[in-house]
Every structure is written in structure tokens, then in C-alpha cells.
Structure 1
């Protein structure tokens, strides 16, 4: 079959190019949500995803360039088969992630390495297959319109870019928040199958048509398994994969844990609202109330989660409480599954920094920040500019409490945040458990910053078992700052991921 005999209108080639490009970008965006329950969402997660997907596209484009040198009909048939392979690998992506996730996380010590390996295992091949059609379709478009080859070439490049934009927008604003990961992948799988069928029809007659249908059926079957058997999240929101776990020792007295992506973000008991189930919430509870004494005090919480401390303080009647929780679905889950009465607080569904910045006239006695989660840290909540904003929103005797997670071997992230707080506040304390650190394990700290030090240096609190906590000596804190020397984090320079990654890689 010669080129002019192909049923390949330019508009159809442009449409296929746009659809395939858009679908590949949908998978790239979905990759972040898929990996989050296993390795969290951080700078390293997105760096790995973008690098692996682009590497896959590059290999696919190179491969497609070789395919494009074939006779047009053969090239279309070959590309149709490649798109069927893209459908199969996309349809089984969640299955493969479930199979590979456990062994990779158990066998690879470094979290960053595990992120890269999982990304390659699951998303490299779909990206390779999705990269093949572009050079093939572009070659056919240009060759069949020799008199207007420049326009054809421009149309194909534009179609790829427009498709990528549409795929990104649809994934972020429609598919993931409204349909979820599994349904989104199923849609992409169907799109790849339809595109493959269209290319095979362009190159008619198709030899042994039953075989492509068999492969397409395999892709559909994998998508069906994904939809019916591999639901990980209780709810997929715009921000998180939200999972609720029952951890009750006694079914008559329920206790539940909230997991956002792969990290626990709080545990609450229905019958004991004042009981803390983690070290950092126990420290925040005791230090905050201890510094305020018996008087009522106002509080601003950065992050809600299970609303454990806000719920405990509301139960104690400590005073007005405001919570900035960026994800309204987290709040809905807290109300539904964690016995939170929303009328006890003022809840703001917006970024905490924006919430503080947009209300300049309001002051609080206690501001609580829970910014850390493994290696996923919102950098804009650990900078000097943000801490200055916090200081300006505190009352004269107020205190800012925030948790920090770091590795005892280096403590570079803890040192940098402490140095940054010291550049803003006259008094900065580091609290932690009174027990020797364990090499290789993360340690939880709470920093207390204000105009004066805490009037006590040790506390005993249930976490949930009785645990003794203490403020580190000033001499240790000073050595921690000077050892680096620790950098002051700013909006222009906040390498918090690198400071933690140095611990992860041992250098």
C-alpha cells in the first residue's frame, strides 16, 4: 500500500497524536498519587517520576524513529501493537506496584533509592510505549502532504503539546479528585486500545484480527482487577490518598488511625479524647497547656489531620481554637470517623501560611505547626519569613510549637530549623524523649519558640504509655547550630529535602 492509499487524514493523525500525548501525561500525574501510599509525596518522588517518564519517552521516540522508516502501512500496524502494549502495561500498573512495593521497600534501605526503583518498575515501560507513536505519525503526516510538509509538521508538534496540557489539566482537576486512580488508569487503558484500533483500521487489512482483540481483552481484564481488587484508599482527595484504620484493642471502645499517603497522621479514641497516641502530640499538649497555665488561651493549628490536640483542648475548654486544614476531605473524614465536632473549632480550608497572612489583625497565644512527615516537608512552612509571620501573629507571651523528624546521626534538618527559629525568636527549645537514640531510626522532636523559655524542663505524658520528655540543654543546642554550621532557611533557599536526604544516604 502506498502512502496516498492510506486512510490517514491529517486531522485524524493530529487527533491520535494529541490523545496519546495527553494520556501519557495523565499517567505521569497519576504516578504521584500511586506512589504516595508507598513512599510519600516529596521532591524526590516527583523528580523520580519526571526523570523516569522522560527517559521512557526518549527511548520510545528513538524506537519510533526507526519504526517510521518502514513502509507506512507496516509502521501503522507496528505502532498499533505498541499502543496495545501501552494499554496492557498501564492496565496492570497498580497490580505491578502492589507486587513490587513490598519487596522493594523491604529490600532497599534508602527511601530515595526505593522511590527511583519503584518508579522505574511501574512507569518506565508505559512511557516507552507511549513515546513510539509521535515520530511515526509525524513522518506519515509529513510524507503524505509533501506540498505542505511544514504545516503538517507544525500541526503534529502542536497536537503533542496541546494533548500534554489537556492531559495534565484533566488529571489534576478532574480525573484524580473526582474519579480516583484506578478509574483514571482504566480510562487511559481504554484510550490506548481505541487509538490502537484506529491505527490498525487505517492500515487495513489487518492480519489475524483476533490477536489484537485478545491483547486488548488482557488490558481490559487487568483494569477490571485493578478496579475491583486493589482499592488502597478509603478516599482519594485532591491532596491525599486517605485511609482510615481500626486499631482498637477493644471493639467496644473504638480507636482509629488516619493515614495520609503512606504516613500516619494521627490516632484517636472515641472514649478518651484527651489521650495522645504519639510522642509529638503528647509533647505539644503538655508544653502548650503548661506554658499557658490555668488561664484560657487562643490557639491556631497548622494542619488538622485527626484533630487530636484540638479535640483534646476543646474537651478541656482551653479557649477559642482555629485550625487551618488545606484538605476539606480530611476534615470530612475526621468528622465522620474520628468523632470530631466541627462546631468546636473554626476551620479554614486553606494553606496555613496564607491563612495567617490574610488575617493581620488576629493574635494567638499558641500556634502549633505539624510540618514534618518523613522526607516530605512543605518548605514554605520552615523558613525565616514564615517564622517571622508566626511571631507577628503571637501574643506577647505566646509560644510556637512545631514537630520535627530527623535522624540522630546527623540532625542537619533539626539544626537548620532551630537556627532559623533563633534568627526570629529570643528563646528556642528542643524537646524530645529522655531515652538514648537508636542508630538509623528517626527521632521525633518538638521545638518551642517564644519570647521566654518554658518554666519547666521535663514533663511526663501519656503517649499513650507514660513517657518522660525533656528539653535539651542549651549547650547541646548551641553545638548543634555551630557544628554545620546550620543554614538559616529562607523563601529563596530552603534545602530541607537535601538536609534530610544527607541522612538517608549517609553523606
Structure 2
């Protein structure tokens, strides 16, 4: 078989198209990587930092390797590129299998979360990025070689790579993940790489006799992809934001109890027949403290984050109305309705960012509840001086703001920073937690209560689900923590809450 398109006459438009397609595909993989790792280690600043670093490392090695290949005769370089595209297809399709098979052992062997996140990113996504990085210098050299105005060809190839990266980012976030999910998205990308491989073999003049091995390799990549597709999904629902699962905790099938898992974290628990019982400490405090302060059922509330909707459900069951909930993910609301017995007609639900919803509202609420914080992932725009000032503007004169927070008992940097920031706005800032001695290394649940005056009591007993005593920490003790930490005021310009929450003392 004669070569149909001699390398010297490969159309520039075709090389540009290949560059766009491969660049777009590689960025889709980078975005999907965060979504796929989240069910194992969560989604946080550290997750994205690790993924971006690993992907860029893969691209860098791939570009270096591709530069060496680009020095070869064009047809041979294109054939080698075809093989690297098959490798990219196979490793991309196999990323799901690697995560399913090795995430557990990696996390168990690397107890520090940052080490586990980095290791999983390397395991699943370094090789796909490496192989996807190889074609760029090869295609660029092929576009410039033996052409007039090669400088224009160089600029066109760089522009094609950037356009592809933009397209891939948009496609991943707005099309692929919401419509078909992460695993299917990787299979689409693997198929794209296979098409790119066939194109490169064709441009490189691969004869029918020598096409058998590439065909077998592409078939193997397809089998890997089919194997990944056959695996049961780790998510009951995969939304644009989270991997959502429902776990049945019922000991008695006649009295169902459900757990919502958001990414890798237990997010909330609800019982069908006991809507007023809270099963976690933070939910128990978020439920009990506002009711203790209001001393009535006729109060209005704004809830930042829905989750299992346990607190709004409990309040509705007590006859409390005027409930507004800002939940960014409609799929979370749908799951709360279908699996956690929340009745949507008992509240006004806003699907969007809570800060934006609060800013756009002119209503003043008796209670504002902040329940959007999990582990080392925290929405930093909801803990700043500017946000707390907005909250104070939306509170009634005798209103209260409560929010949950987790921090390492050996550090308390995040707690100190948030309390110091809240004190800039509210005359009274109380820190509530379980009335029990702390243990070394414990990540403890705190609930902060801010208002114009102190609470009338310093301790409460409430089910969590067993009756538990919670107390407010002494003001002098909190002052000593703030003084020892030289607590930083969090602002929209600088609010490193994830950093303050996420590192263990061993790293100091």
C-alpha cells in the first residue's frame, strides 16, 4: 500500500485538527480526574493541587519525549505517535480499574491525606497525561517542516493547543460529566485517542501488513474500556458537584435509617420515623442551639447547605415554618426527597450558591444556619469578614447565626481564624462542642453561635442520637487560643481555611 499523503504534504488543517482533539481530550481527563478521585479522598484544594501537578508533570515528560521523536523522519515520527495514542487510550480507559483496585490499599498504607491524594493521582493519571503530551511537539514539527512561512504554522499549532484546552475544559464541566458521567467520559476520550492513533498511522504510511499490531492494540484498549464500563458505579447519583450514595443503616427494615455519602464522607443520617432525632453532633447542635435561643416556633430561618435536609425536616415536623434552604446541587435535594423523607413543600429551596442567594435577598431572618463544611474541604467564601458582615445584615435584631466547623484539636488554627473574623462583626461569638475531654489528634466538631448577646445557658443536652451534653467553651480559653495563634482575619482577598484545616501537626 502506497502512502496516501506524503509527510511533506500533510494538510496543515489536519494537523491542527489533531492538535485540537488531543489537547481537548487531555484537559477533559484532567477535569474528570478530580471527579473520579473525590469518592476516595474528597474534593478539596489539595485534591486539585495534586491532580494539576501530576497532570502537568505527565505533560512535561510527554513533551520532552515527543521532542526527541520529532527529530526523526516525519513518517516514522507519526507512526510512533500512533503508538503513543494507543497507550494514551489504554491508560485512560484503565484509570477507572486502577482506582477501583488500588485506592483502598493506597489509602490504608498512606494515612496522611495529602500523601494518599498525590499517590492516587500519580497511579491513575500520570501515564495518560504523559502519553497525551507526546504528540504536540511532533505534530508541530510536522506542520513546520518543508513549508513556506513555517512561523505561521508554529503559531497555528500553539493556538490549536490552547483552543483544544479551552474546549476540553468546557466540554468536561458542561457536557460530559453532567450528561454521561466520569467513566463513560474516559471511554469517549479513549475512543478519541484511538481515532487519533489511526490517523497518525495513516499519515505515517503504515501498510496493511503492518496494521495488524496497531489494530490488536486498539482492540486491547477497547477491552480495557469495556471492563471499566462493566464495573458497578461507585455513585448512586453523579452530579455536576458530587458523587452521591445512599447507605441503608437500618437494623429493622420496618424502621428505615439512611446515610448520605457525599464523595468520600458521611454527610448526614436520617430516620424515616424519627425526624426530630439528629444522628451527628453537628446536626444536633445546629438543630438545638437556634431553638434554645428562639424559645418559640414562630421564627424564620435561612439554611446554607441542604445535605440530608435533617434540620429543616425536624423543624418542619415541630411546626416551624418560614424555612429557606440554599443548596447548590439539585441532585442533593432530589436524593433528600427520595431517600431521606424530606418534603419540599415545607420549605423554599434555592438551588445556587448560598452567599449569592443571601445577597440577593432583602429578607431578614431570625436564624441563619451554616452547614456547608466537610472535613478538609471548606467553601472559603463562606467564612470571610465580608460574608459575616452580609450575614449580620440579613439577621433580625435578636437573630442568631450558627455554623459548624471541624478542626484538629492539636492545632485549632482554623477555629481561631474563624472566631477572630466573626468577632469583627458580632458582639458575641460562642464556641460549642461536646462536653468531653479531647483526645490527641482528634478532629473535633465545633458549632459557632454568633449574635448580639450571649446565650442564657452554658450547656444543653440533646440527642445525637443518644442524649449528649454539649457546652460552650469558656471565653478566656478561646481568648488564649486566639492570642497563641495570632489568628488571621479571613477576607475575600485571603482566606486560606483549607490550609488551616487540612494539615496535621506532623508536618509542622
Distance 1:376 1:57 in 2: 27
* Counterpart mapping for 1:138-153 below 5 A: 138-145=140-147, 147-153=148-154
Which residue pairs with 1:108 in the alignment?
110
Which residue pairs with 1:401 in the alignment?
402
* Counterpart mapping for 1:311-330 below 5 A: 311-330=313-332
* Counterpart mapping for 1:20-99 below 5 A: 20-99=22-101
* Structure 2 unaligned regions, length at least 5: none
* Counterpart mapping for 1:126-275 below 5 A: 126-145=128-147, 147-206=148-207, 207-275=209-277
In 1, are the aligned partners of 2:86 and 2:217 still within 8 Å (CA)?
yes
Shift of 1:298: 0.7
Which residue pairs with 2:500 in the alignment?
499
Distance 1:47 1:457, change over 3 A: same
Deviations 1:82-125 (A, max 9, x none): 00000000000011111221112111121112111111111111
* Structure 1 unaligned regions, length at least 5: none
Distance 1:441 1:86 in 2: 42
Distance 1:324 1:215 in 2: 50
Deviations 1:156-207 (A, max 9, x none): 1111111111111100100001110011001000000111011111122345
* Counterpart mapping for 1:405-484 below 5 A: 405-484=406-485
* Counterpart mapping for 1:317-356 below 5 A: 317-356=319-358
Shift of 1:441: 2.4
Distance 2:167 2:230 in 1: 28
Confirm whether residue 488 of structure 1 aligns to residue 497 of structure 2: no
Distance 1:418 1:363 in 2: 23
In 2, are the aligned partners of 1:92 and 1:223 still within 8 Å (CA)?
yes
Distance 2:297 2:10 in 1: 78
Select between 90-99 and 1-10 the one with higher mean Cα deviation: 1-10
Shift of 1:351: 0.6
Distance 1:295 1:258, change over 3 A: closer
Shift of 1:2: 10
Which residue pairs with 2:12 in the alignment?
10
Distance 2:224 2:445 in 1: 41
Distance 1:374 1:60 in 2: 35
Give the structure-2-normalised TM-score: 0.97
In 2, are the aligned partners of 1:242 and 1:261 still within 8 Å (CA)?
yes
Aligned length: 505
Distance 1:4 1:200 in 2: 11
Distance 1:35 1:202 in 2: 37
SS of 2:122's equivalent? helix
Distance 1:162 1:215 in 2: 29
Shift of 1:295: 4.5
Shift of 1:230: 4.0
Deviations 1:219-251 (A, max 9, x none): 111211222214111111111111111111111
Deviations 1:5-41 (A, max 9, x none): 2362211111111100100000000011011111111
Which residue pairs with 2:392 in the alignment?
391
Distance 1:352 1:220, change over 3 A: same
In 2, are the aligned partners of 1:4 and 1:144 still within 8 Å (CA)?
no
